[in-house]
């Protein structure tokens, strides 16, 4: 067994106001602050900036991450910014911001293009620059993970840079930083986290340590997500989902994902589907597909989501349908045709799903015919 958790995880309400002190304690004097201009406008970044000023940590703000990370965004940032003058990269934002921060820390040290680092363990040496992540969403788990996800427009798919060397030095989770999330982002990011917890739980690489994190994450997200969706200022619910999301990724980066995430790679490359929405579309169908080989675990997932005694007491496999109810309550009812699905893309979707690094961890192997049937159910 191997269980990595290179990131130091600090959690607490109001903790974002300690960012400056934490950077100073790391010996950092000048940070590249990567964020999203919308978050700056809404005042979400303000407590972090105030703490940098208070602690006399210099920073240069790059607020240009307004979309999911793309190759063209990467090229624009590398052309427009001198990345060599910073001793740290501070990411304040959602998973996209944190993923971009990781990519910039890599090329600041080793040069080249982000495509050069796609795949497993392509970072040649430990990073010298510290990465501190302050997430403003609760979902991707990028604050603790070894992954950075990029959209490659030319290939119409996504690619992953995966290495424990890009795990942030410190993940600083503060539920107050997530309260500005609108309901739709709360739902898509929360379902992404739920999918991390579920896929890592049934993964072929799951073990006693990851199962502990997966199951507790399913419980926390199940307890908080609907409440956080309907009442964004419910700090207890926000905190439960945020703790669950980070724990789900601790499991996910060690046990890896599965078929939902493998499918999401081409689907989000081809169509403007948020990652969590793609996971939500696939989740009940992939659970049904996997239940044939992982029925007891699927039953355990329903139990952790408190989906017991709901009138559907069929053993194992059949209870995956309960999850459809949760997704509907979160407004996650979109289908591929709503995002411009075209039949001629089926070959790309099947090929890229099978090529995805995530696919190999799914507990049940899928044939091309299985995948065509599965995708047809999402249309």
**Nearer Cβ to Fe ion (52/301):** 301
Site for Fe ion in 191-230 (CB under 5 A): 192
99 in contact with Fe ion (CB under 5 A): no
- State in angstroms the smallest separation of the CB of 321 from Fe ion: 22
Strands, E assignment, the chain: 8-11, 30-35, 58-62, 88-93, 119-120, 130-135, 147-152, 157-162, 170-173
In the β-sheet with 157-162, what is the strand arrangement from edge to edge?
119-120, 157-162, 147-152
Which tokens is 169 given?
A: 């030095």
- State in angstroms the smallest separation of the CB of 192 from Fe ion: 4
Strands 8-11 and 30-35, sheet pairing: unpaired
Q: How many residues of this chain interact with Fe ion, rule: CB under 5 A?
A: 1
**Nearer Cβ to Fe ion (36/192):** 192
- State in angstroms the smallest separation of the CB of 261 from Fe ion: 6
- State in angstroms the smallest separation of the CB of 169 from Fe ion: 22
**Nearer Cβ to Fe ion (176/192):** 192
What residues are paired with 159 via a beta bridge?
A: 150
Which uninterrupted H or E stretch holds 186?
helix 183-202
Strands 157-162 and 147-152, sheet pairing: antiparallel
What's the distance, Cα to Cα, between the start and end of the chain in Å? 39
Choose the stretch contacting Fe ion; rule: CB under 5 A; options: 148-156, 189-197, 285-293, 316-324. Answer: 189-197
**Nearer Cβ to Fe ion (146/192):** 192
Q: Which is nearest to 349 in space by CA: 255, 226, 262?
A: 262
Choose the stretch contacting Fe ion; rule: CB under 5 A; options: 66-74, 80-88, 188-196, 308-316. Answer: 188-196
Q: Which residue is nearest to Fe ion (CB)?
A: 192
Sign of CA dihedral 118, 37, 131, 3: negative
The owner of tokens 């209870």 is: 319
**Nearer Cβ to Fe ion (68/192):** 192
- State in angstroms the smallest separation of the CB of 195 from Fe ion: 6
- State in angstroms the smallest separation of the CB of 13 from Fe ion: 25
d(CA 242, CA 172): 11
> Please, what is the Cα angle at 8 between 6 and 12, to 5 degrees?
150
**Nearer Cβ to Fe ion (160/366):** 160
Choose the stretch contacting Fe ion; rule: CB under 5 A; options: 164-172, 177-185, 187-195, 223-231. Answer: 187-195
| Phi, psi for residue 357 in degrees, rounded to 5 | -65, -20
Choose the stretch contacting Fe ion; rule: CB under 5 A; options: 28-36, 59-67, 186-194, 301-309. Answer: 186-194
Site for Fe ion in 38-97 (CB under 5 A): none
- State in angstroms the smallest separation of the CB of 139 from Fe ion: 7
- State in angstroms the smallest separation of the CB of 147 from Fe ion: 9
d(CA 62, CA 46): 14
Site for Fe ion in 260-299 (CB under 5 A): none
Q: Which residues bind Fe ion (CB under 5 A)?
A: 192
């Amino acid at each position: 067994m191997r269980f990595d958790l290179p990131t130091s995880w600090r959690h607490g309400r109001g903790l974002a106001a300690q960012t400056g002190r934490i950077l100073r304690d790391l010996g950092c004097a000048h940070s590249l602050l990567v964020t999203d201009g919308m978050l700056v406008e809404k005042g979400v970044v303000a407590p972090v900036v105030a703490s940098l000023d208070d602690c006399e940590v210099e920073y240069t703000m790059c607020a240009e991450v307004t979309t999911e990370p793309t190759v063209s965004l990467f090229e624009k940032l590398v052309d427009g910014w001198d990345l060599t003058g910073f001793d740290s990269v501070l990411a304040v934002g959602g998973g996209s911001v944190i993923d971009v921060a990781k990519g910039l820390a890599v090329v600041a040290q080793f040069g080249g293009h982000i495509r050069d680092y796609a795949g497993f363990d392509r970072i040649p040496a430990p990073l010298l620059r510290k990465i501190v992540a302050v997430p403003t969403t609760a979902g991707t788990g990028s604050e603790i993970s070894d992954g950075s996800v990029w959209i490659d427009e030319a290939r119409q798919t996504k690619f992953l840079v995966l290495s424990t060397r890009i795990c942030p030095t410190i993940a600083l989770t503060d539920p107050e930083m997530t309260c500005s999330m609108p309901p739709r982002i709360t739902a898509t990011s929360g379902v992404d986290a739920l999918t991390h917890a579920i896929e890592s739980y049934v993964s072929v690489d799951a073990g006693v340590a990851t199962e502990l994190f997966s199951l507790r994450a399913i419980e926390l997200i199940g307890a908080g997500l609907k409440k956080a969706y309907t009442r964004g200022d419910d700090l207890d619910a926000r905190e439960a989902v945020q703790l669950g999301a980070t724990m789900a990724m601790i499991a996910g980066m060690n046990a890896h994902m599965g078929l939902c995430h493998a499918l999401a790679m081409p689907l989000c490359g081809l169509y403007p589907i948020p990652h969590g929405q793609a996971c939500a579309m696939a989740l009940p169908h992939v659970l049904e597909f996997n239940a044939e080989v992982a029925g007891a675990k699927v039953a355990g997932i329903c139990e952790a989501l408190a989906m017991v005694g709901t009138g559907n007491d069929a053993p194992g496999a059949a209870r995956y349908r309960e999850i459809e109810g949760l997704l509907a309550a979160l407004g996650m009812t979109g289908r591929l045709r709503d995002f411009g699905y075209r039949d001629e893309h089926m070959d790309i979707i099947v090929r890229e799903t099978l090529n995805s690094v995530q696919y190999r961890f799914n507990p049940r192997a899928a044939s091309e015919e299985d995948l065509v049937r599965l995708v047809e159910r999402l249309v």
